[in-house]
Amino acid sequence: MTVRLRGLSTAVPPTQLVQTEVAEVFGAQPGLTRLAQRIVSTSFGLSGIDTRYTVLDELTTGGPALEDAAFYDRAAGRILDPGTRLRNDRYAEHASRLYVEAGRAALAAVPAIAADDVTHVITVSCTGFYAPGPDFVLARDLGLPAGVQRYHLGFMGCYASLPALRLAAQLCEADADAVVLVVSVELCTLHLRTSNDPDTIVATSLFGDGAGAGLVTARPLEQGERALELDGFATRTTPQGEGDMAWRIGDHGFEMVLSNAVPSLIGEHITGAIAPLLAAEEPLAAALRDGAVAGAIEHWAVHPGGRSIVDHVEKALALDEAQLVPARETLRDYGNMSSATVLFVLERILRDPAAADGERVAAMAFGPGLTVESALLTVRG
């Protein structure tokens, strides 16, 4: 049975953040030490990001001061520090809209599949919680069947969309008629804060908001339709790094631990982490052993957790610079949107006319653990 990812779609909120402007705001916050100011300048300047998006229109530097501002005082140029409850209330408000927008776009992209055909929903997020949750909202607002089965993968971090696709594929392998709607929404900017802590500053320089969605099914493709076959998945936890990447709930939002050791740890362990993914196909396994995997797999959907992470993956796997253009362009245009990001990279690859039918794609994403999730796909159409 061949299971495919179809209707791959993405969405972002309307408010754009320009990296240079955000850097000026964060660098000018009261209470920053000189060292923290230098870290802000370096982290923002070397991030590889030009723009990001946010659900918080009050974060823009232009326009009049807002009387009810909770995150940014425009008149004073000061970043505010709301509590976790307010941040999570904003998550519930804005995430619901983006879940529905992305899910509707995925259905619209595959006219042969209607809302009534969806048998399962899988939602993904690590930036907020509410119940009834986004799985319920999708079923209600998209008019899905009353008996649609719903699952939510929460608080897993940046790698979670790949386990979601794996679960969707397993559901389709168990039921040839299954149609699984997978939607990831991450509103990372709800948790931005000013701080002298280097990990917090780095996180502030990287994260943005976005949503990705797609339909996973074994139903046949329509004439001229482009899709990605889901060939295999792998999970590996590195022997080091448990304390270097973490995501915790604090009194003033969720707190990211993202040490500067993460890129080198990924670079050190990435070859071993993807070896199980390629083991089922001996030509690919042999190419990895020979250091020639870049020639055996045409496209690489690497989660751009930061510019240095992409650099270390490129070096460790001896990839061509062109193979990482989709990852670097996604980082440049949107920043790191946690679990949704790899779906943006896959969409960029799929819509590229140069990605020909039958070419292979290796996807990978990284998160707490330190965990590496990977997938092997094939372009169709």
Q: What is the pLDDT of residues 107-134, one digit of tens each?
A: 999 999 999 999 999 999 999 999 999 9
**What's the pLDDT at 64?**
65
**Mean per-residue pLDDT over the chain, rounded:** 95
HSE at residue 232, side-chain half, CA atoms within 13 A, is 14
DSSP bridge pairs for 230: 377
CA quadruple 217, 273, 47, 22: dihedral sign: positive
Encoding tokens for residue 170?
A: 């397993």
Look up residue 92 and give its amino acid. Answer: A
Query: Is 188 considered catalytic here?
Result: no
pLDDT one digit per residue (tens) for the chain, 381 residues:
899 999 999 999 999 999 999 999 999 999 999 999 999 999 999 999 999 999 999 888 776 667 778 999 988 899 999 999 999 999 999 999 999 999 999 999 999 999 999 999 999 999 999 999 999 999 999 999 999 999 999 999 999 999 999 999 999 999 999 999 999 999 999 999 999 999 899 999 999 999 999 999 999 999 999 999 999 999 999 888 888 888 899 999 998 888 888 999 999 999 999 999 999 999 999 999 999 999 999 999 999 999 999 999 999 999 999 999 999 999 999 999 999 999 999 999 999 999 999 999 999 999 998 999 999 999 999
Domains of the chain (ranges, CATH numbers): 227-380 (3.40.47.10)
Distance CA 128, CA 191 (A): 10
CA dist 305 to 53, 202, 245, Å? 16, 11, 11
Spot the catalytic one: 126, 158, 172, 188: 158
